[in-house]
Chains A and B, each alone.
Chain A
Amino acid sequence: MRPGTASPGVLRTTWLTLFSHYRRHPGQLAMLLLGLWVASALWSGVQAINASARDSYARAETLFSASLDSVTRRDNQPLSLVTYLSLRRAGEPVSPLVEGDLTLSDGTSLRVIGIDPLTLPGESGLARQQSDAASLRDWILPPHRARIAPENADAARADSRLPPLEADPSLPPGTLVTDIGVAQRLLGVETLSRLVVAPEQSLALPPTLVRQSAAALASPGQLTDSFHLNLTAMGLLALIVGLFIVHAALGLALEQRLGMLRTLRALGVPGHTLIIAMALELLLIGLLGAVLGIVSGVVLARLLLPDVAASLDALYDTDVASHLSLPWYYWLGGLAVTLGGLFSAGFGMLWRAARLDILALGKAQAWRARLHRQLRLQAGAGTVLLGVALWLGWRLDHQPNPQELALGFAMVAALLLGASLWLPPLLAGSLGLLSRRLRSHPRLQWALADLQLQLPRLQLPMMALLLALSANLGVGSMVGGFRLTFLDWLDQRLLADMYVRPPEAQYTDVAAWLEGQDEVQALLEARHAEAPRLDAEGQTTGRTLALFGITPAPIMRQSWPLLDTATGHEAAWQALDAGDGAFINEQLAHRDGLAPGDPLHLRSPQGPVMLTVAAIYPDYGNPRGEAVLSASHLTEKFAATPGSLGVVLRPGSRDVAGLQAALRERFGLGGDAVVDQGAVKRTATEIFERTFAITQALNALTLAVAGLALLTTLLAQAGARRAQLAPLWALGVSRRQLIGLQLGQLVSAATGTAVLAIPLGIGLAWALVAVINVAAFGWRLPLHIFPSQIAMTIVLAIFVAALATLLPAWRLWRVPPRQLLQEFAAI
Chain B
Amino acid sequence: MKRSTLLLLLATVILAGLGKAFWPQDTSPQAGYAGLGEQASGFAQAGPGHALAFPEDHGPHPGFRIEWWYLTANLESADGRPFGVQWTLFRQALAPETGNNDEASDSPWQDRQLWMAHAALSTPQGHRFAEKFARGMALPAGQGQAGVMAAPFSAWIDDWSLAAVSADAGLDQLTVRAEADDFAYRLALTAQGPLVRHGEDGFSQKSADGQGSMYYSQPFYQVEGTLRLGDEPIVVSGRAWLDREWSSQLLGATQRGWDWFSLHLAGGAKLMAFRLRGGGSEEGDYLSGSWITPQGQVTALGEGSLRLTPVKTDDVASRELPTTWRVEAPDHGLDVTVSAVHPEQWMGTSFPYWEGMVTLQGSHVGEGYLEMTGY
Contacts and interface: CB of A to CB of B under 8 A. Distances in A.
Contacts, number: 92
A93 B130 CA distance: 13
Interface string A125-148: 011111110111111111001000
A91 B21 contact: no
Contacts of B158: 88-89, 91, 93
A817 B114 CA distance: 97
A134 B23 contact: yes
Interface in B68-110: 94-95, 102-103, 105, 107-110
Interface stretch (B12-20, B39-47, B282-290, B302-310): B12-20
Nearest to A118: B133
A179 to B, nearest CB: 7
A561 B87 CA distance: 62
B109 A136 contact: no
A89 B159 CA distance: 5
Which of B22, B108, B158 neighbours the largest number of chain A CB atoms within 10 Å of its CB? B22
A119 interface: yes
Contacts of A93: 158
Nearest to A166: B22
Contact of A137 (B25, B94, B108, B134): B94
B310 to A, nearest CB: 34
A137 B20 CA distance: 12
A190 B138 CA distance: 14
B112 interface: yes
Interface stretch (A38-46, A180-188, A770-778): A180-188
A141 B159 contact: no
A224 B105 CA distance: 42
Nearest to A130: B24
A95 to B, nearest CB: 10
Interface in A91-130: 91, 93, 116-120, 126-130
B135 A116 contact: yes
A155 interface: no
Interface string A616-636: 000000000000000000000
Which of A88, A134, A138 neighbours the largest number of chain B CB atoms within 10 Å of its CB? A88
B144 interface: yes
Contacts of A438: none
Given A130-B24, A180-B109, A136 B18 contact: yes
B110 A136 contact: no
B19 A181 contact: no
B145 A89 contact: yes
A202 B156 CA distance: 22
Contacts of A184: 107, 109
A127 B21 contact: yes
B143 A141 contact: no
Interface string B170-200: 0000000001000000000000000000000
B134 A135 contact: no
A90 interface: yes
Contacts of B95: 137, 141
Contact of A181 (B105, B114, B133): B105
Contacts of B15: 135-137
Interface string A156-190: 00000000000000000000000111001100001
A211 to B, nearest CB: 18
B159 A135 contact: no
Contact of A85 (B18, B103, B145, B179): B145
A580 to B, nearest CB: 39
Given A90-B159, A127-B20, A141 B135 contact: no
Which of under 10, 10 to 19, 20 to 34, or 35 or more describes the interface residues of B? 20 to 34
Interface residues of A, number: 35
A81 interface: yes
A193 to B, nearest CB: 14
Contacts of B18: 117-118, 136
Contact of A117 (B21, B144, B156, B179): B21
Nearest to B114: A118
A197 to B, nearest CB: 13
A201 to B, nearest CB: 9
Interface string B261-283: 00000000000000000000000
A555 B128 CA distance: 63
A179 B19 contact: no
Given A126-B21, A134-B23, A141 B134 contact: no
A136 B25 CA distance: 13
Which of A118, A127, A132, A138 neighbours the largest number of chain B CB atoms within 10 Å of its CB? A118
Nearest to B103: A142
Contacts of B145: 85, 88-89, 119
B216 to A, nearest CB: 28
8 contacts: A88-B134, A88-B159, A116-B135, A131-B24, A132-B23, A137-B19, A140-B114, A145-B22
Given A118-B133, A137-B15, 15 more contacts: A88-B159, A90-B159, A116-B109, A118-B18, A118-B114, A130-B23, A130-B25, A136-B18, A136-B22, A136-B94, A141-B94, A141-B112, A142-B103, A181-B105, A185-B105
Q: Report, nearest first, the 6 A-B pairs whose CB atoms are least far apart.
A: A181-B109, A136-B19, A91-B159, A118-B133, A181-B107, A127-B21
